[in-house]
Amino acid sequence: MDAVVGGGGLIQLPALLLVPGIAPVQALATNKVAGFMGTSVSAATFYRRVQPDLRTAGPMAVAALLGGGGGAALAAWLPGEVIEPIVLVALVGVAIWTVARPQLGRADELRWTGRRHLVVAAALGVGIGFYDGLVGPGTGTFLVIGLVAVLGYGFLQASAHAKIINALTNIGALVVFALQGAPLWLLGVIMGAGNICGAYLGARMAVARGSGFVRAVFLVVVGGLVVTLAWDVLTPG
Protein backbone atom coordinates (compact mmCIF):
# COMPACT_ATOMS: atom_id res chain seq x y z
CA MET A 1 0.00 0.00 0.00
CA ASP A 2 2.73 2.45 0.93
CA ALA A 3 4.60 1.91 -2.34
CA VAL A 4 1.50 2.67 -4.40
CA VAL A 5 0.33 5.85 -2.72
CA GLY A 6 1.69 6.13 0.84
CA GLY A 7 -0.06 5.59 4.14
CA GLY A 8 1.90 2.56 5.34
CA GLY A 9 2.35 4.25 8.70
CA LEU A 10 -1.40 3.87 9.24
CA ILE A 11 -0.68 0.18 9.79
CA GLN A 12 2.84 0.18 11.19
CA LEU A 13 2.67 2.95 13.77
CA PRO A 14 -0.47 1.74 15.60
CA ALA A 15 1.00 -1.79 15.58
CA LEU A 16 4.21 -0.53 17.17
CA LEU A 17 2.27 1.36 19.82
CA LEU A 18 0.73 -1.97 20.89
CA VAL A 19 4.18 -3.33 21.82
CA PRO A 20 4.30 -3.49 25.66
CA GLY A 21 6.47 -0.79 27.20
CA ILE A 22 7.24 1.12 24.00
CA ALA A 23 7.21 4.91 24.24
CA PRO A 24 5.56 6.99 21.48
CA VAL A 25 8.91 8.46 20.38
CA GLN A 26 10.37 4.93 20.16
CA ALA A 27 7.43 3.86 18.00
CA LEU A 28 7.94 6.86 15.71
CA ALA A 29 11.67 6.19 15.46
CA THR A 30 11.31 2.45 14.83
CA ASN A 31 8.68 3.15 12.17
CA LYS A 32 11.27 5.34 10.42
CA VAL A 33 13.78 2.46 10.32
CA ALA A 34 11.28 0.15 8.61
CA GLY A 35 9.84 2.94 6.47
CA PHE A 36 13.23 3.98 5.12
CA MET A 37 14.02 0.42 4.05
CA GLY A 38 10.70 0.09 2.21
CA THR A 39 10.62 3.51 0.58
CA SER A 40 14.19 3.12 -0.68
CA VAL A 41 13.26 -0.05 -2.56
CA SER A 42 10.04 1.39 -3.99
CA ALA A 43 11.88 4.59 -4.98
CA ALA A 44 14.50 2.56 -6.87
CA THR A 45 11.80 0.45 -8.56
CA PHE A 46 9.81 3.51 -9.65
CA TYR A 47 12.95 5.24 -10.89
CA ARG A 48 13.90 2.34 -13.14
CA ARG A 49 10.41 1.95 -14.59
CA VAL A 50 8.84 5.45 -14.57
CA GLN A 51 11.91 7.75 -14.80
CA PRO A 52 10.66 10.61 -12.58
CA ASP A 53 12.25 14.00 -13.20
CA LEU A 54 15.08 14.35 -10.67
CA ARG A 55 15.20 18.09 -11.37
CA THR A 56 12.01 18.27 -9.30
CA ALA A 57 12.42 15.25 -7.03
CA GLY A 58 16.00 16.14 -6.03
CA PRO A 59 15.49 19.67 -4.63
CA MET A 60 12.14 18.67 -3.13
CA ALA A 61 13.77 15.67 -1.43
CA VAL A 62 16.58 17.78 0.05
CA ALA A 63 14.05 20.30 1.37
CA ALA A 64 11.98 17.44 2.79
CA LEU A 65 15.04 15.95 4.50
CA LEU A 66 15.64 19.23 6.33
CA GLY A 67 11.96 19.48 7.24
CA GLY A 68 11.93 15.88 8.47
CA GLY A 69 14.86 16.54 10.78
CA GLY A 70 13.15 19.64 12.17
CA GLY A 71 9.91 17.80 12.79
CA ALA A 72 11.68 14.92 14.52
CA ALA A 73 13.45 17.38 16.82
CA LEU A 74 10.03 18.51 18.09
CA ALA A 75 8.38 15.08 18.16
CA ALA A 76 9.57 14.19 21.65
CA TRP A 77 7.52 16.95 23.30
CA LEU A 78 4.84 18.29 20.90
CA PRO A 79 1.67 16.14 21.09
CA GLY A 80 0.20 14.95 17.81
CA GLU A 81 -3.31 16.02 18.86
CA VAL A 82 -2.26 19.66 18.41
CA ILE A 83 -2.32 19.29 14.63
CA GLU A 84 -4.62 16.29 14.07
CA PRO A 85 -7.87 18.32 13.70
CA ILE A 86 -6.26 20.55 11.04
CA VAL A 87 -4.95 17.55 9.12
CA LEU A 88 -8.37 15.87 9.34
CA VAL A 89 -10.18 18.85 7.80
CA ALA A 90 -7.56 19.09 5.04
CA LEU A 91 -7.91 15.39 4.18
CA VAL A 92 -11.70 15.54 3.99
CA GLY A 93 -11.40 18.49 1.63
CA VAL A 94 -8.85 16.68 -0.55
CA ALA A 95 -11.03 13.55 -0.75
CA ILE A 96 -14.09 15.56 -1.82
CA TRP A 97 -12.07 17.50 -4.39
CA THR A 98 -10.53 14.35 -5.88
CA VAL A 99 -13.90 12.60 -6.19
CA ALA A 100 -15.48 15.72 -7.73
CA ARG A 101 -12.72 15.97 -10.36
CA PRO A 102 -12.38 12.51 -11.94
CA GLN A 103 -9.80 13.74 -14.47
CA LEU A 104 -7.48 15.07 -11.75
CA GLY A 105 -4.11 13.33 -11.95
CA ARG A 106 -4.90 11.27 -15.05
CA ALA A 107 -1.98 12.87 -16.91
CA ASP A 108 0.90 15.26 -16.25
CA GLU A 109 -0.24 18.88 -16.66
CA LEU A 110 2.41 20.94 -14.84
CA ARG A 111 1.17 24.33 -13.65
CA TRP A 112 4.58 26.04 -13.66
CA THR A 113 8.03 25.55 -15.13
CA GLY A 114 11.50 26.77 -14.24
CA ARG A 115 12.29 28.53 -11.00
CA ARG A 116 8.70 28.93 -9.78
CA HIS A 117 8.10 25.20 -10.14
CA LEU A 118 11.21 24.45 -8.06
CA VAL A 119 10.35 27.01 -5.36
CA VAL A 120 6.83 25.60 -4.91
CA ALA A 121 8.20 22.03 -4.90
CA ALA A 122 10.79 22.93 -2.25
CA ALA A 123 8.16 24.62 -0.08
CA LEU A 124 5.98 21.51 -0.28
CA GLY A 125 9.00 19.38 0.60
CA VAL A 126 9.84 21.36 3.73
CA GLY A 127 6.26 21.41 5.01
CA ILE A 128 5.48 17.75 4.37
CA GLY A 129 8.92 16.66 5.58
CA PHE A 130 8.32 18.54 8.84
CA TYR A 131 5.01 16.72 9.26
CA ASP A 132 6.75 13.40 8.57
CA GLY A 133 9.34 13.95 11.30
CA LEU A 134 6.75 15.22 13.75
CA VAL A 135 3.86 12.77 13.24
CA GLY A 136 4.52 10.50 10.27
CA PRO A 137 1.50 8.48 9.09
CA GLY A 138 0.21 9.55 5.70
CA THR A 139 3.34 11.43 4.58
CA GLY A 140 3.47 9.63 1.25
CA THR A 141 -0.19 10.42 0.71
CA PHE A 142 0.37 14.12 1.44
CA LEU A 143 3.27 14.14 -1.00
CA VAL A 144 1.03 12.66 -3.70
CA ILE A 145 -1.63 15.27 -2.87
CA GLY A 146 0.87 18.09 -3.28
CA LEU A 147 2.44 16.72 -6.45
CA VAL A 148 -0.96 16.17 -8.12
CA ALA A 149 -3.09 19.05 -6.82
CA VAL A 150 -0.43 21.77 -6.55
CA LEU A 151 2.27 20.94 -9.10
CA GLY A 152 0.06 19.16 -11.64
CA TYR A 153 1.62 15.70 -11.96
CA GLY A 154 -0.37 12.61 -12.85
CA PHE A 155 -0.89 10.06 -10.08
CA LEU A 156 1.72 7.59 -11.35
CA GLN A 157 4.47 10.20 -11.70
CA ALA A 158 3.41 11.70 -8.35
CA SER A 159 3.84 8.33 -6.63
CA ALA A 160 7.27 7.88 -8.22
CA HIS A 161 8.41 11.34 -7.06
CA ALA A 162 6.86 10.83 -3.63
CA LYS A 163 8.88 7.68 -2.92
CA ILE A 164 12.19 9.41 -3.66
CA ILE A 165 11.22 12.35 -1.46
CA ASN A 166 9.81 10.15 1.32
CA ALA A 167 13.06 8.18 1.50
CA LEU A 168 14.89 11.44 2.24
CA THR A 169 12.36 12.61 4.86
CA ASN A 170 12.84 9.27 6.61
CA ILE A 171 16.62 9.78 6.63
CA GLY A 172 16.29 13.27 8.10
CA ALA A 173 13.98 12.11 10.87
CA LEU A 174 15.93 8.89 11.52
CA VAL A 175 19.24 10.72 12.02
CA VAL A 176 17.67 12.88 14.72
CA PHE A 177 15.93 9.92 16.37
CA ALA A 178 19.17 7.89 16.28
CA LEU A 179 21.04 10.70 18.05
CA GLN A 180 18.36 10.52 20.75
CA GLY A 181 18.78 6.73 21.04
CA ALA A 182 15.09 6.24 20.23
CA PRO A 183 14.93 3.50 17.54
CA LEU A 184 14.49 -0.17 18.48
CA TRP A 185 16.85 -1.32 15.75
CA LEU A 186 16.21 -5.07 15.73
CA LEU A 187 12.44 -4.63 15.59
CA GLY A 188 12.78 -1.92 12.93
CA VAL A 189 15.01 -4.05 10.70
CA ILE A 190 12.67 -7.07 10.97
CA MET A 191 9.72 -4.88 9.96
CA GLY A 192 11.86 -3.28 7.27
CA ALA A 193 12.52 -6.67 5.66
CA GLY A 194 8.77 -7.07 5.23
CA ASN A 195 8.56 -3.49 3.93
CA ILE A 196 11.12 -4.27 1.24
CA CYS A 197 9.07 -7.18 -0.12
CA GLY A 198 5.82 -5.19 -0.09
CA ALA A 199 7.45 -2.08 -1.56
CA TYR A 200 8.86 -3.97 -4.54
CA LEU A 201 5.55 -5.67 -5.32
CA GLY A 202 3.50 -2.51 -4.78
CA ALA A 203 5.69 -0.34 -7.00
CA ARG A 204 5.58 -2.88 -9.83
CA MET A 205 1.79 -3.13 -9.52
CA ALA A 206 1.40 0.67 -9.67
CA VAL A 207 3.56 0.88 -12.80
CA ALA A 208 1.68 -1.97 -14.47
CA ARG A 209 -1.81 -0.61 -13.76
CA GLY A 210 -1.21 3.12 -14.21
CA SER A 211 -2.65 6.36 -12.83
CA GLY A 212 -6.26 5.17 -12.65
CA PHE A 213 -5.30 2.37 -10.26
CA VAL A 214 -3.12 4.72 -8.17
CA ARG A 215 -6.01 7.21 -7.95
CA ALA A 216 -8.37 4.50 -6.65
CA VAL A 217 -5.86 3.36 -4.01
CA PHE A 218 -5.24 7.02 -3.12
CA LEU A 219 -8.92 7.54 -2.29
CA VAL A 220 -8.99 4.38 -0.17
CA VAL A 221 -5.91 5.47 1.79
CA VAL A 222 -7.23 9.01 2.29
CA GLY A 223 -10.46 7.48 3.59
CA GLY A 224 -8.45 5.38 6.03
CA LEU A 225 -6.54 8.44 7.21
CA VAL A 226 -9.77 10.35 7.75
CA VAL A 227 -11.30 7.53 9.80
CA THR A 228 -8.12 7.08 11.87
CA LEU A 229 -7.67 10.76 12.64
CA ALA A 230 -11.38 11.27 13.33
CA TRP A 231 -11.26 8.42 15.84
CA ASP A 232 -8.21 9.99 17.55
CA VAL A 233 -9.81 13.43 17.65
CA LEU A 234 -13.25 12.29 18.86
CA THR A 235 -12.01 9.72 21.39
CA PRO A 236 -9.06 11.38 23.18
CA GLY A 237 -7.18 9.19 25.62
| 206: exposed, middle or buried (Cβ count in 10 Å: 0-12, 13-18, 19+) | buried
| Rounded CA separation 11/158 (Å) | 22
Query: Residues 33, 194: contact at Cβ < 8 Å?
Result: no
Which amino acid would we find at residue 161?
A: H
Confidence at residue 176, expressed as pLDDT on a 0 to 100 scale: 84
Confidence at residue 90, expressed as pLDDT on a 0 to 100 scale: 65
Confidence at residue 86, expressed as pLDDT on a 0 to 100 scale: 60
**Nearest one of 25, 19, 35, 36 to 182, comparing CA atoms:** 25
Q: For residue range 28-79, list pLDDT tens digits in order.
A: 889 889 988 998 999 889 888 888 888 888 889 889 888 878 887 776 666 6
| Rounded CA separation 91/53 (Å) | 27
Confidence at residue 237, expressed as pLDDT on a 0 to 100 scale: 57
Distance of CA 62 to the CA centre of its chain: 15
Q: For residue range 84-111, list pLDDT tens digits in order.
A: 666 667 667 767 777 777 776 677 788 8
Query: Residues 93, 194: contact at Cβ < 8 Å?
Result: no
Confidence at residue 187, expressed as pLDDT on a 0 to 100 scale: 94
Sequence-distant (≥ 6) Cβ neighbours of residue 176 within 8 angstroms:
69, 72, 73, 133
Q: For residue range 160-206, list pLDDT tens digits in order.
A: 898 888 888 788 888 888 988 989 999 999 999 999 999 999 888 88
Confidence at residue 123, expressed as pLDDT on a 0 to 100 scale: 93
Confidence at residue 224, expressed as pLDDT on a 0 to 100 scale: 79
Instruction: Kindly tell me if the per-residue pLDDT of 235 is higher than 70.
Output: yes
Confidence at residue 87, expressed as pLDDT on a 0 to 100 scale: 61
For the chain, the C-alpha Rg in angstroms (whole number) is: 16
Length of the chain (residues): 237
Output the DSSP codes for 21-74: T--HHHHHHHHHHHHHHHHHHHHHHHHHHH---HHHHHHHHHHHHHHHHHHHHH
Q: For residue range 148-172, list pLDDT tens digits in order.
A: 989 989 888 988 898 888 888 788 8
Q: Which bin fits 81, alpha (ψ -120 to 50), beta or left (φ > 0)?
A: alpha
Query: Residues 144, 152: contact at Cβ < 8 Å?
Result: no
Output the DSSP codes for 63-115: HHHHHHHHHHHHHTTS-GGGTHHHHHHHHHHHHHHHHH-TTTTSS---S--HH
